């Protein structure tokens, strides 16, 4: 719900939307974090003025979240949201000093990315039946594109017909912060994309490449649902989502010796640190090979 006594919050969200061009999903995450913080200030400290907010107030909020068993990962995200907000407030002159200077983020244990085994992905496309109608063709092609490119869900859903470049065998993708990147596409997959594009439902008025039987753009929930259902047929891993296919794409590349900087570029990561998590799976694979093959292992 809106926090009327802190108008800078809406200014900040407008800044993210119109100047930084963040996705709606990211803006909602910032909004939720910051509204929770301001609701806490109002309920516990009668809503101090923005310039009167100190590190003590923030630590009190963090302590309450720890008591509620909120994960360190979630707390760190909320701290990041606060840092961005107060940095913006400094920039526009709403405050003279950020209260975040002495706030320390809790340590988190690094989780290795979960992924689908290569043999399971092969089984998905080689043996599982897909219905021979628009719905079946859409689902199979979406799954194939996720696994073949490592695209994010939002990138795939908003992929325009004009972003396909058959002549150069590539797709242009708009990633986070509207950053462009080009993804190589195998000839056989490109043929399927072009055929799909040329056989769209007559009622379709959408610019997006992927549409449902009624010619309307796919929505995230429906894509998540059919990806989840299909992965259940080939794997027992706990999470079965489009993002798991992104992890699978990156992990299989790294396990086959791909250069980490190339994988970084393909994923659209701004930092190499984000890509380095996939090297851990490579190391685990090497350990398994060593243990199995070396006489002294």
Active site residues: 152, 176, 243, 246, 269, 278
Q: Is 9 exposed, middle or buried (0-12, 13-18, 19+ CB in 10 A)?
A: buried
Please state, in angstroms and rounded to a whole number, the distance separating the CA atoms of residues 85 and 150: 31
The dihedral formed by the CA atoms of 127, 131, 133 and 136, expressed in degrees to the nearest 10: -70
Taking the mean position of all CA atoms in its chain, how far away is CA 204? 28
User: Angle of helix 55-67 relative to helix 24-45, nearest 10 degrees?
Assistant: 100
Instruction: Return the SS3 of 184.
Output: strand
CB atoms within 10 A of CB 218: 22
**H or E element, residue 174:** strand 170-174
């Amino acid at each position: 719900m809106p926090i009327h006594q802190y108008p800078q919050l809406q200014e900040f969200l407008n800044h993210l939307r119109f100047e930084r061009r963040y996705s709606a999903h990211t803006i909602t995450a910032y909004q939720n974090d910051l509204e929770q913080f301001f609701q806490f200030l109002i309920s516990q400290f009668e809503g101090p003025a923005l310039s009167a907010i100190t590190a003590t107030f923030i630590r009190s909020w963090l302590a309450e979240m720890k008591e509620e068993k909120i994960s360190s990962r979630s707390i760190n995200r909320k701290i990041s949201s606060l840092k961005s907000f107060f940095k913006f407030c400094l920039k526009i002159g709403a405050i003279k000093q950020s209260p975040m200077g002495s706030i320390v983020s809790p340590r988190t244990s690094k989780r290795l990315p979960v992924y689908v085994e290569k043999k399971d992905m092969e089984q998905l496309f080689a043996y599982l039946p897909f219905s021979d109608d628009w719905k079946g063709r859409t689902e199979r092609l979406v799954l194939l594109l996720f696994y073949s490119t490592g695209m994010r869900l939002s990138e795939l859903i908003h992929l325009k017909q004009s972003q396909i470049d058959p002549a150069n065998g590539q797709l242009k993708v708009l990633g986070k912060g509207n950053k462009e990147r080009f993804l190589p596409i195998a000839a056989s997959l490109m043929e399927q994309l072009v055929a799909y594009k040329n056989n769209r439902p007559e009622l379709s008025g959408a610019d997006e490449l992927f549409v449902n039987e009624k010619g309307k753009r796919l929505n995230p929930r429906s894509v998540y649902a059919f990806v989840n259902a299909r992965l259940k047929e080939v794997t027992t891993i706990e999470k079965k989502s489009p993002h798991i296919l992104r992890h699978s794409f990156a992990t299989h590349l790294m396990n086959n010796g791909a250069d980490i900087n190339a994988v970084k570029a393909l994923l659209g990561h701004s930092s190499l640190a984000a890509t380095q998590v996939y090297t851990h799976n490579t190391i685990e694979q090497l350990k398994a090979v060593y243990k199995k093959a070396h006489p002294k292992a």
